[in-house]
Amino acid sequence: MEQQLKQLEQEALTKIQAAANLKELNDVRVAYLGKKGPITDLLKGMGKLSPEERPKMGALVNAVRENVTAQLEQRATVLEEQAIQEQLEKESIDVTLPGRQVRSGNRHPLTRVVEEIEDLFVSMGYTIAEGTEVERDYYNFEALNLPKGHPARDMQDTFYITEETLLRTHTSPVQARTMEAKKGEPIRIISPGKVFRRDNDDATHSHQFMQIEGLVVGENIRMSDLKGTLDKLAKKMFGEDREIRLRPSFFPFTEPSVEMDISCFKCGGSGCNVCKQTGWIEILGAGMVHPNVLEMAGYDSKKVSGFAFGIGAERIAMLKYGVDDIRHFYTNDSRFLSQFHRTEG
């Protein structure tokens, strides 16, 4: 019997070590220590032994049971730890994986041009004024010295909404609105925004585009102030070595009126494809505010004077970034727009 017991113990211990998980271990426990297990059977068989043998055997069986129980517990601890370890490994995060690239957007080239120009003028003490895209005929034309039926209205084919309202054809109505609101006070504003004209869209025309209006009104504002201001603008947008040239022009709301050219930033003036071999590139229209415009807005044209200019944002952006078709700005093609990422600044 002792022999049998030792063998059982050995068997049990081998199986305990072989148990691969807690479930298998539990099966071993039930098989050896359970009510129907061999050790219990042995205990039951003790009655057949002689009274002298009984305590010895009893002690032996108990020792085996204790040993098996202890081994079971030990193995259980090991297997539990193993299970936790496996779980942790399964759930662990590999921090060495490269991250997913975050695609950040970039500002639209027109926005960049507008912001650059805003920065320059704000640094010179201008404030930014906003107008409305749907405008009254009065501010778009009449208050700018373009009475009804004036032939110069034909310079700007217009989307009319009613007889008296229209989509503004330029940002100049902001001049009239600002002067009216300022009631004789000095003014220094720029005003960027969308404008609309009944043009057929092609590589250089669009029925909607962006302008930036500038207006300065006060005592002793002279043509030389306008020239100095535009010179700063040309240098900021196209490089410090740019020169400017003013050519006589006509706008009903300025007198005298000028077109400003800059010396070609590509060839420096000797002639190339960008400047159409002239050495100069036309950039914007400007002039001294017409006395009629000042008077209509309540300013005394004998006491104050002013200058105004209107910049086309698309034209600046096309020149600056070498864009050959104005429609690229509006079609939202990310292949076009993402090219401005690298130069974002």
- Give residues in contact with ligand PHE (CB under 6 A): 170, 172, 251, 254, 285-287, 308-310
In whole angstroms, the minimum distance from the beta carbon of 149 to ligand PHE comes to 19
Cα dihedral 9, 10, 12, 18, rounded to 10, equals 160
**Residue 222 or 341 having the CB closest to ligand PHE:** 222
**Residue 250 or 340 having the CB closest to ligand PHE:** 250
| The two structure tokens encoding residue 112 | 């960049």
In whole angstroms, the minimum distance from the beta carbon of 264 to ligand PHE comes to 22
295 assigned binding-site residue: no
**Residue 243 or 259 having the CB closest to ligand PHE:** 259
**Residue 19 or 296 having the CB closest to ligand PHE:** 296
Strands 244-251 and 254-263: antiparallel
Rounded Cα distance, 295 and 169, in Å: 22
Rounded Cα distance, 199 and 128, in Å: 28
Cβ within 8 Å of residue 59, ≥6 positions away: none
In whole angstroms, the minimum distance from the beta carbon of 344 to ligand PHE comes to 29
**Residue 170 or 177 having the CB closest to ligand PHE:** 170
Rounded Cα distance, 129 and 188, in Å: 10
Contact yes or no for 113/317 (Cβ under 8 A): yes
**Residue 175 or 263 having the CB closest to ligand PHE:** 175
In whole angstroms, the minimum distance from the beta carbon of 180 to ligand PHE comes to 17
Burial of 108 (0-12, 13-18, 19+ CB in 10 A): middle
The phi, psi pair for 339, rounded to 5°, reads -65, -15
In whole angstroms, the minimum distance from the beta carbon of 257 to ligand PHE comes to 6
Q: Which of 206, 203, 302, 284 is nearest to 238 (CA)?
A: 284
In whole angstroms, the minimum distance from the beta carbon of 118 to ligand PHE comes to 17
**Residue 206 or 254 having the CB closest to ligand PHE:** 254
Question: Which H or E run contains 233?
Answer: helix 223-238
Q: Which of 142, 169, 176 is nearest to 155 (CA)?
A: 169
DSSP 176-218: HHHHHHHTT--EEEEEEEEEE--PPPSSS--SEEEEEEEEEEE
Residue whose C-beta lies closest to ligand PHE = 310
DSSP 237-266: HH-TT--EEEEEEEETTEEEEEEEEEE-TT
Instruction: Supply the DSSP symbol for 144.
Output: G
**Residue 150 or 266 having the CB closest to ligand PHE:** 150
In whole angstroms, the minimum distance from the beta carbon of 286 to ligand PHE comes to 5
In whole angstroms, the minimum distance from the beta carbon of 253 to ligand PHE comes to 6
Binding annotation for Mg(2+): 255
Q: Residues annotated as binding site?
A: 255
